């Protein structure tokens, strides 16, 4: 049986067929949002962020940053906010329309009382640092210092635009898992094209469950990351060539990475629980960036949540060991780091730019071919 | 058996993550447990389990138990007509 939705209910705010729901809003009652926020609205509407039905109010916000739980005690580690700049005309109970950059309706929300955010407090409590070099912290510092609570009343669009045919909602994955007869499903979070070490981690987990859910994050990323097209195409190549037929579901997650390390690992688990997964893999430096978090801090944090409702599989880092002549981890291999085959992101990018491909011990040739054939495999 | 009541010895303290160690819970209440059980729990957690207090331990265990019971009461989040529509889409996309 697939996992129970987080908080006990899969939120479903269906796309409204009634266009009048989005008419009659004045300029003052309209809030323009960017593409990442539009995806966030779709995620809330489709239940990816269940049990949230909209953007958080102040009580939930404070509870999340202080206690890592919603006000009703349900585990939650990163606030989901609608940042607001300038003067706000709406008051509690008013309705406001969210539009995209072209002015097209996205959703109607019921407004709550706007509240102030202390950016430094947010940074420290969510990211564990106030360092502006941290991409999550810098985004908070650049953004507004007010937030508007807002329950979604109607959504004009609950799709994600690009990669629609490679994006499943939680309702769809739950039915898919059930149709495949899977009772235990392990989620794999990624923002990368797959290396051999990712494949071994996935297969180690897959050996223990019925199915693997590969759920790459698409959306805004750091410079030097793989592009969305390359991530999806390279995973498809890997699955087609190296996994038993019917053992994997590949579906995109449209979500902006926060790089919040341990706190984001919990959010990754919650989202995958809503997709129906019973397990999630947590490897080395999950959702981390730079050296802000300990290599296994994202595993330690799970000890705080006996009621999370999804079981983590913890793994040490996988690598190819030249002496072992195979894939190993520090728990299975006694050799020094010098024996490990590894490439930094910079070296990998240079290799592809020079028309070279990594050795097959590091990356499957079919995956390398997808990257080589892409005109721009990396985010500028 | 745990009962509602006011027993300062068994005050529940909510667990804190290391990013905000100075934070104290904003909302909490008390429950009463037999002193004998309290003593057993105190002995159980002393020194090695990572729980700072009996309250920490009780909170942890109760959350685990409550989640287990809540899970068993959740109905399927879709209707039979939903299922047919979704299965058709999944087939069209090659997932089924």
What are the CA-CA distances from residue A342 to residues A37, A196, A330, A333, A346 (Å)? 36, 11, 14, 15, 12
Cis check: omega of the bond before A51, within 30 degrees of 0: yes
Query: pLDDT exceeding 90 applies to what percent of chain A?
Result: 81
Alpha helix locations (H) across chain A?
35-46, 58-67, 119-122, 135-142, 170-179, 196-206, 228-242, 262-274, 297-300, 345-353, 365-373
Whole-number pLDDT of residue B28: 81
**Domain membership flag for residue B55:** yes
A69 interaction partners in chain B (CB closer than 8 Å): 14
Whole-number pLDDT of residue B25: 52
Q: Which of A192, A311, A349, A357 is catalytic?
A: A192
Main-chain dihedrals φ then ψ at residue A301, nearest 5 degrees? -65, -25
What are the CA-CA distances from residue A317 to residues A97, A151, A290, B19 (Å)? 46, 41, 16, 24
DSSP for A262-283 reads HHHHHHHHHHHHHTT-SEEEE-
Task: Say how far apart CA A179 and CA B84 lie, in whole Å.
Answer: 11
DSSP for A221-252 reads --TTSBPHHHHHHHHHHHHHHHS-TTSEEE--
Reported pTM: 0.91
pLDDT at A224 over 70: yes
If residue A108 lies in a helix (H) or strand (E), which one and from where to where? strand A105-111
In this prediction, residues A259-280 reach a mean pLDDT of 97
A296 interaction partners in chain B (CB closer than 8 Å): none
Which positions ≥6 away from A284 have C-beta within 8 Å? A295, A296, A315, A316, A317
A307 interaction partners in chain B (CB closer than 8 Å): 63-64, 66-67
Whole-number pLDDT of residue B26: 55
Task: Say how far apart CA A344 and CA A322 lie, in whole Å.
Answer: 17
Of A133-137, A362-366, B52-56, which range is least confident?
B52-56
Vertex A309, ends A329 and A330: CA angle to 5°?
A: 5
Q: Give the residue among A274, A25, A62, A34 at the shortest CA–CA distance from A153.
A: A25
Indicate the pLDDT class of residue B82, thresholds 50, 70 and 90.
confident
**Domain membership flag for residue B4:** no
Look-up: residue for tokens 């002393």?
B46
pLDDT at A330 over 70: yes
**Domain membership flag for residue B33:** yes
In this prediction, residues B69-85 reach a mean pLDDT of 81
| Two structure tokens written together for A265 | 């690992």
CB contact under 8 A, A179 and B61: no
CB-CB contact of A46 with A12 (8 Å): yes
Q: Give the residue among A201, A93, A215 at the shortest CA–CA distance from A149.
A: A93
**Domain membership flag for residue B7:** no
DSSP for A177-191 reads HHHTT-S-EEEEEES
pLDDT at B74 over 80: no
In the residue annotation, A174 being an active-site residue is answered as no
If residue B62 lies in a helix (H) or strand (E), which one and from where to where? helix B54-71
3-state helix, strand, coil in chain A (%, to 5): 35, 20, 45
CB contact under 8 A, B77 and A9: yes
| Two structure tokens written together for A78 | 């990163």
The SS3 of residue A212 is strand
Of A68-82, A320-334, B68-82, which range is least confident?
B68-82
CB contact under 8 A, A5 and B16: no
Q: Give the residue among A215, A209, A214 at the shortest CA–CA distance from A185.
A: A209
Q: What is the ipTM of this complex?
A: 0.88
**Domain membership flag for residue B45:** yes
Assess B20–A contact: CB distance below 8 Å, yes or no.
yes
A113-140 pLDDT, tens digit per residue, is 999 999 999 999 999 999 999 999 999 9
| Two structure tokens written together for A113 | 């009382």
CB-CB contact of A357 with A343 (8 Å): no
Indicate the pLDDT class of residue A31, thresholds 50, 70 and 90.
very high
**Domain membership flag for residue B6:** no
Indicate the pLDDT class of residue B3, thresholds 50, 70 and 90.
very low
Whole-number pLDDT of residue A343: 76
In this prediction, residues A279-303 reach a mean pLDDT of 93
Assess A129–B contact: CB distance below 8 Å, yes or no.
no
**Domain membership flag for residue B2:** no
Whole-number pLDDT of residue A350: 84
Main-chain dihedrals φ then ψ at residue A353, nearest 5 degrees? -65, -30
Task: Say how far apart CA A354 and CA A292 lie, in whole Å.
Answer: 32
B64 interaction partners in chain A (CB closer than 8 Å): 306-307
Rounded to the nearest angstrom, the gap between the alpha carbon of residue B14 and the centroid of all alpha carbons in its chain is 11
Question: Around B15, how many Cα atoms within 13 Å sit in the side-chain half-sphere?
Answer: 23
In the residue annotation, A192 being an active-site residue is answered as yes
Helices (H) and strands (E) in chain A, counts: 11, 17
- Give the mean pLDDT of chain A: 93
In this prediction, residues A344-348 reach a mean pLDDT of 75
User: How many domains does chain B divide into?
Assistant: 1
Indicate the pLDDT class of residue A353, thresholds 50, 70 and 90.
confident
The range of the structural domain enclosing residue B66 comes to 12-92
Taking CA atoms, what residue in B is nearest to A261? B19
Whole-number pLDDT of residue A225: 84
Look-up: residue for tokens 């011990």?
A361
Q: Give the residue among A48, A38, A66 at the shortest CA–CA distance from A173.
A: A48
Q: Which of A38, A174, A191, A284 is catalytic?
A: A191
If residue B91 lies in a helix (H) or strand (E), which one and from where to where? helix B80-92
pLDDT at A240 over 50: yes
Longest dimension (CA), chain A: 70
**Domain membership flag for residue B5:** no
Taking CA atoms, what residue in B is nearest to A304? B15
Task: Say how far apart CA A189 and CA A43 lie, in whole Å.
Answer: 16
Task: Say how far apart CA A172 and CA A216 lie, in whole Å.
Answer: 17
């Amino acid at each position: 049986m697939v996992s129970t939705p987080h908080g006990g209910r899969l939120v479903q705010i269906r796309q409204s067929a009634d266009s009048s729901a989005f008419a009659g809003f004045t300029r003052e009652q309209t809030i323009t949002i960017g593409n990442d926020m539009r995806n966030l609205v779709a995620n809330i509407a489709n239940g990816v962020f269940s049990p949230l039905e909209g953007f958080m109010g102040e009580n939930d916000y404070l509870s999340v940053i202080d206690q890592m739980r919603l006000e009703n005690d349900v585990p939650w580690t990163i606030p989901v906010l609608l940042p607001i700049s300038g003067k706000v005309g709406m008051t509690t109970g008013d309705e406001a329309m969210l539009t995209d950059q072209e002015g097209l309706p996205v959703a109607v929300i019921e407004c709550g009382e706007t509240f102030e955010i202390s950016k430094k407090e947010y940074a420290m409590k969510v990211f564990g640092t106030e360092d502006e070099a941290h991409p999550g912290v810098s985004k908070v510092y650049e953004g507004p210092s007010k937030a508007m609570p807002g329950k979604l009343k109607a959504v004009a669009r609950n799709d994600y635009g690009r990669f629609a045919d490679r994006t499943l909602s939680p309702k769809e994955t739950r039915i898919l898992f059930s149709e495949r007869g899977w009772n235990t499903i392990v989620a794999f979070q990624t923002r990368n094209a797959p290396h051999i070490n990712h494949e071994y981690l996935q297969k180690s987990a897959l050996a223990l469950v019925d199915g693997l859910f590969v759920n790459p994050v698409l959306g805004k990323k750091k410079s030097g990351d793989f592009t969305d097209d390359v991530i999806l195409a390279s995973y498809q190549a890997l699955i087609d060539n190296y996994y038993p037929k019917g053992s994997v579901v590949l579906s995109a997650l449209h979500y902006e990475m926060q790089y919040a390390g341990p706190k984001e690992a919990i959010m990754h688990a919650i989202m995958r629980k809503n997709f129906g997964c019973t397990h999630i893999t947590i490897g080395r430096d999950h959702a981390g960036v730079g050296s802000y978090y300990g290599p296994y801090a994202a595993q330690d944090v799970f000890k705080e949540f006996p009621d999370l409702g999804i079981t983590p599989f913890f793994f040490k880092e996988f690598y190819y060991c030249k002496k072992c002549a195979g894939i190993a981890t520090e728990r299975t291999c006694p050799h020094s780091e010098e024996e490990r085959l590894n490439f930094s992101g910079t070296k990998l990018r240079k290799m592809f730019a020079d028309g070279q491909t990594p050795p097959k011990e590091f990356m499957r040739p079919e995956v390398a071919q997808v990257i080589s054939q892409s005109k721009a495999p990396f985010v500028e | 058996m745990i009962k509602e009541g006011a027993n300062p010895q068994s005050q529940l303290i909510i667990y804190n993550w290391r990013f905000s160690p100075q934070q104290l819970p904003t909302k909490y209440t008390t429950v009463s447990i037999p002193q004998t059980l309290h003593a057993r729990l105190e002995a159980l957690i002393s020194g090695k389990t990572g729980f700072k207090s009996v309250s920490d331990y009780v909170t942890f265990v109760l959350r685990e138990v409550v989640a287990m019971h809540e899970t068993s009461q959740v109905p399927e989040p879709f209707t039979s007509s939903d299922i047919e529509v979704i299965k058709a889409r999944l087939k069209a996309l090659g997932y089924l």
